[in-house]
């Protein structure tokens, strides 16, 4: 593999200490403390509006905590070796290959190395036949595959995924889950939100459960699924409407 590894300094664990986030008078995340170690698959669960997406954005550095601390092992405020895949991928109005190359160019990768890595990514993710097609004209599943491929090409140590399959059909969902599992096998730390219980059971090693902006449970997946501690999580697992 000709993959270069410029961001080799370990950035994990990521730790949050009593982190809160609010907009105006509304407190949207409250007093969350959590450590995300390297090499785990953490699934973030909770009802709609519980704050899962915000939590992910806060970890990724798209928003900053209003109070509390977010620290990486590498001591950078926002390390580069991380990537995020969104629920609805926003792809640039360019070709598939150019979408892959874009973040690499931003990162200052040389043209030749970039071309190598793009070619390798196209092959690995089966995107070669559509390399020159406009990314915006791909199907939903293909677009999400490209978004994952783009994230992978950025060689992250940690990958955040925000409900990456909620807009996809079952076959595309299966494909995306397979890719996430493979990434984890390669040693990429996964933090992913979902409200799909089956998906959580299939992928999770750890579970964090959010309820109204608070993290009310955080434990190993087996323990969580065997018997959650809080009534809210129990109700969620039972399929009740929780609010």
| Of positions 50, 59, 109, 135, contacts other proteins by CB under 8 A | 135
| Of positions 64, 76, 107, 222, contacts other proteins by CB under 8 A | 107
Give least dist CB 137 to other proteins, A.
5
Contacts of 142 (CB under 8 A, 6+ apart): 130
Q: Does 136 bind other proteins (CB under 8 A)?
A: yes
With contact defined as beta carbons under 8 Å apart, do 131 and 97 qualify?
A: yes
The distance from CA 125 to its chain's CA centroid, rounded to whole angstroms, is 18
Distances (CA, A) of 56 to 13, 52, 110, 194, 237: 15, 6, 31, 11, 21
Of the pair 18, 78, the CB lying nearest other proteins is at: 78
Give least dist CB 147 to other proteins, A.
9
Q: Does 220 bind other proteins (CB under 8 A)?
A: no
Number of residues that bind other proteins (CB under 8 A): 24
Give least dist CB 229 to other proteins, A.
33
Of the pair 64, 240, the CB lying nearest other proteins is at: 64
Q: Does 57 bind other proteins (CB under 8 A)?
A: yes
Residues 196-215 as x/- pattern, contact with other proteins by CB under 8 A: --------------------
| Of positions 23, 62, 181, 197, contacts other proteins by CB under 8 A | 62
| Of positions 40, 94, 195, 201, contacts other proteins by CB under 8 A | 94
With contact defined as beta carbons under 8 Å apart, do 175 and 141 qualify?
A: yes
With contact defined as beta carbons under 8 Å apart, do 119 and 110 qualify?
A: no
Per DSSP, 50 falls in state S
Per DSSP, 157 falls in state S
Q: Does 102 bind other proteins (CB under 8 A)?
A: yes
Give least dist CB 155 to other proteins, A.
12
Per DSSP, 230 falls in state S
Q: Does 184 bind other proteins (CB under 8 A)?
A: no
What is d(CA 21, CA 68) in angstroms, rounded to the nearest whole number?
9
Structure token pair of residue 114? 């970039």
Q: Which of 150, 149, 180 is nearest to 163 (CA)?
A: 180
What is d(CA 51, CA 195) in angstroms, rounded to the nearest whole number?
12
Q: Which residues of this protein are in contact with other proteins, per CB under 8 A?
A: 57, 60, 62, 80, 83-84, 86, 90-95, 98, 102-103, 106-107, 134-137, 150, 154
């Amino acid at each position: 593999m000709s993959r270069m590894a410029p961001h080799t300094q370990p950035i994990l664990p990521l730790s949050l200490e009593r982190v809160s986030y609010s907009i105006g008078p509304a407190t949207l995340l409250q007093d969350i403390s959590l450590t995300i170690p390297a090499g785990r698959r953490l699934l973030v669960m909770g009802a709609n509006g519980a704050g899962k997406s915000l939590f992910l954005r806060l970890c990724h550095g798209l928003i900053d905590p209003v109070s509390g601390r977010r620290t990486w092992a590498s001591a950078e405020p926002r390390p580069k070796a991380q990537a995020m895949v969104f629920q609805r991928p926003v792809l640039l109005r360019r070709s598939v290959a150019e979408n892959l190359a874009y973040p690499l160019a931003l990162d200052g990768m040389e043209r030749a190395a970039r071309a190598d890595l793009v070619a390798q990514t196209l092959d690995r993710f089966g995107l070669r036949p559509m390399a020159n097609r406009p990314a915006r004209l791909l199907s939903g599943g293909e677009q999400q595959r490209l978004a994952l491929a783009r994230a992978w090409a950025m060689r992250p140590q940690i990958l955040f995924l925000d409900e990456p399959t909620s807009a996809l059909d079952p076959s595309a969902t299966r494909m995306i889950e397979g890719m996430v599992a493979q990434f984890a096998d390669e040693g990429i730390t996964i933090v992913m939100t979902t409200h799909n219980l089956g998906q959580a059971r299939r992928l999770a090693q750890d579970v964090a459960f959010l309820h109204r902006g608070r993290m009310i449970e955080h434990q190993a997946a087996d323990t969580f699924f065997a018997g959650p501690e809080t009534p809210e999580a129990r109700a969620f697992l039972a399929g009740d409407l929780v609010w």
